[in-house]
C-alpha cells in the first residue's frame, strides 16, 4: 500500500541538483527545486535550441560537460526520453565512480521495472543512493494536479526533497514498484487516448464526429473531461508516448502476459507522430492528428472560440491543429 505525503511548509538545506535534461518536465522540476531554494545545474551541449533557451530562462546554470555536472551535484535527476535512460546511466557511471561521496540519483523516466533494473546495473548500486520515481500528471500542474511516486533504497530521501512542493507517494522498497505504477497508469491513459484517436478517425472519415462527440458526452459524461485534458497534448508528444506504450508491452511480456493492446496503441501513436512530422496530405485527407484535434476541440465547452462546425477549409484545419499543438499544458 502506498504511503502518501501531502505538501508541507518545511525546507531542506540547499542542494545542488543536476537535471538531465531540462525538457518540458525537467524544466518544471528544475523550477520547483529553484523555488525551494536549491541550485540547479545541467549540461546543454548537444541539446536543442529550445531546450537551451528553456534552461536559460528558468535560471538553470549550464556546465560544459556531463562529467562536470555529475561531479558537482548532490542530487542527479534523470528526466530523458525513455529510450535514452540506460544510455544516460552508462555515460554518467564513470563520473560517479570518480567521486569521493555518493550522490542521490533519482530515475524519473517512463520506463518499465525491467528497464529500471538495467539502469541500476549500468550505474552500479554502490555509486549512488538510488531512487526509482515517476510523476503522474502534466508538467504545468506539478503542484496542483500531479503526484510523485517513489520506491527503492533512497525513496525517503527523494520524498523529503519534493514533499514540501507536491504530493508524494512511497509505493514500495523495490526499485521496480514506482515504475510499475507508471506503467499501469500510463498504459491506461495512453491506450484511452489511442482508442479515442482511432474512433475519431473513422468518425471523421464518415462525417460523424459531431454525432459521436454528442453521444459520448451524453452516455459517458465522466470521460469527456479526461479527453479534454489528455488529447490536446498528443500531437506534440505522440512519439514519446508511443515509446512509453512499448515499455508497457515489454513489461507485460516479461510478466508472461499477452501485450496486444499496448502494442496496438503504440502503433496508433506512431502513425500520429508520423502524420504530425510529415504534415498534411491533399485537402480532405483524413489523418490521426486531425481526428485528435477535432475530438479534443469538440469536447471543449460549447462557448469555446473554436468548434468543429466552424471548419470550412484546409487552412482552417491547419489553424486548428496549430492551436491544439501550442495550447498550454
Most confident of 98-102, 224-228, 273-277: 98-102
How large is the average pLDDT for residues 218-232?
87
pLDDT above 50 for 55 = yes
Q: Where in the chain is the domain with CATH 1.10.1040.10?
A: 181-326
Q: Over the stretch 161-176, which tens digit does the pLDDT of each residue have?
A: 999 999 999 999 999 9
Which range, of 13-17, 22-26, 183-187, 295-299, averages the lowest pLDDT?
295-299
**pLDDT tier at 300, thresholds 50, 70, 90:** low
pLDDT above 60 for 283 = no
For position 307, what pLDDT does the model report? Answer: 46
The CA R_g of the chain, rounded to the nearest whole Å, is 21
Q: How many CA atoms lie within 13 A of 60 on its CB side?
A: 31
For position 281, what pLDDT does the model report? Answer: 44
Q: Where in the chain is the domain with CATH 3.40.50.720?
A: 3-173
How large is the average pLDDT for residues 315-322?
52
CA 96 to chain CA mean position, Å: 26
For position 295, what pLDDT does the model report? Answer: 66
What percent of the chain is modeled with pLDDT above 70? Answer: 80
CA separation for the pair 46, 50 (Å, rounded): 12
For position 311, what pLDDT does the model report? Answer: 44
How large is the average pLDDT for residues 92-96?
96
Q: Look up the CATH architecture of domain 181-326.
A: Orthogonal Bundle (1.10)
Q: Look up the CATH architecture of domain 3-173.
A: 3-Layer(aba) Sandwich (3.40)
For position 279, what pLDDT does the model report? Answer: 61
Give yes or no for a contact between 146 and 138, defined as CB atoms under 8 angstroms apart.
yes
pLDDT above 80 for 49 = no
CA separation for the pair 195, 22 (Å, rounded): 31
For position 84, what pLDDT does the model report? Answer: 95
Q: Is the peptide bond before 207 cis (omega within 30 degrees of 0)?
A: no
pLDDT above 60 for 36 = yes
Amino acid at each position: 500500500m502506498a504511503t502518501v505525503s501531502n505538501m508541507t511548509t518545511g525546507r531542506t538545506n540547499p542542494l545542488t541538483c543536476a537535471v538531465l535534461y531540462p525538457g518540458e518536465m525537467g524544466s518544471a522540476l528544475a523550477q520547483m527545486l529553484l523555488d525551494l531554494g536549491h541550485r540547479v545545474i545541467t549540461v546543454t551541449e548537444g541539446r536543442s535550441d529550445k531546450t537551451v533557451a528553456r534552461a536559460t530562462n528558468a535560471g538553470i546554470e549550464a556546465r560544459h560537460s556531463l562529467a562536470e555536472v555529475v561531479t558537482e551535484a548532490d542530487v542527479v535527476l534523470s528526466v530523458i526520453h525513455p529510450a535514452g535512460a540506460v544510455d544516460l546511466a552508462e555515460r554518467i557511471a564513470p563520473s560517479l565512480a570518480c567521486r569521493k561521496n555518493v550522490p542521490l540519483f533519482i530515475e524519473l523516466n517512463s520506463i518499465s521495472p525491467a528497464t529500471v533494473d538495467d539502469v541500476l546495473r549500468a550505474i552500479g548500486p554502490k555509486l549512488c543512493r538510488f531512487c526509482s520515481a515517476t510523476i503522474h500528471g502534466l508538467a504545468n500542474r506539478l503542484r496542483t494536479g500531479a503526484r510523485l511516486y517513489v520506491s527503492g533504497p533512497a525513496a525517503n530521501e527523494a520524498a523529503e526533497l519534493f514533499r514540501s512542493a507536491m504530493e508524494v507517494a512511497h509505493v514500495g522498497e523495490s526499485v521496480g514498484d514506482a515504475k510499475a505504477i507508471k506503467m499501469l497508469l500510463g498504459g491506461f491513459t495512453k491506450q484511452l487516448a489511442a482508442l479515442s484517436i482511432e474512433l475519431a478517425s473513422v468518425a471523421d472519415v464518415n462525417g460523424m464526429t459531431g454525432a459521436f462527440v454528442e453521444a459520448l458526452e451524453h452516455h459517458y459524461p465522466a470521460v469527456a473531461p479526461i479527453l479534454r485534458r489528455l488529447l490536446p497534448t498528443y500531437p506534440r508528444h505522440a512519439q514519446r508516448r508511443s515509446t512509453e506504450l512499448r515499455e508497457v508491452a515489454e513489461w507485460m511480456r516479461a510478466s508472461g502476459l499477452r501485450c496486444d493492446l499496448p502494442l496496438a496503441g503504440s502503433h496508433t501513436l506512431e502513425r500520429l507522430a508520423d502524420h504530425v512530422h510529415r504534415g498534411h496530405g491533399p485537402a480532405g485527407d483524413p489523418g490521426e492528428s486531425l481526428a485528435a484535434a477535432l475530438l479534443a476541440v469538440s469536447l471543449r465547452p460549447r462557448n469555446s472560440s473554436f468548434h468543429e462546425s466552424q471548419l470550412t477549409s484546409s487552412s482552417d484545419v491547419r489553424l486548428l491543429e496549430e492551436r491544439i499543438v501550442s495550447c498550454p499544458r
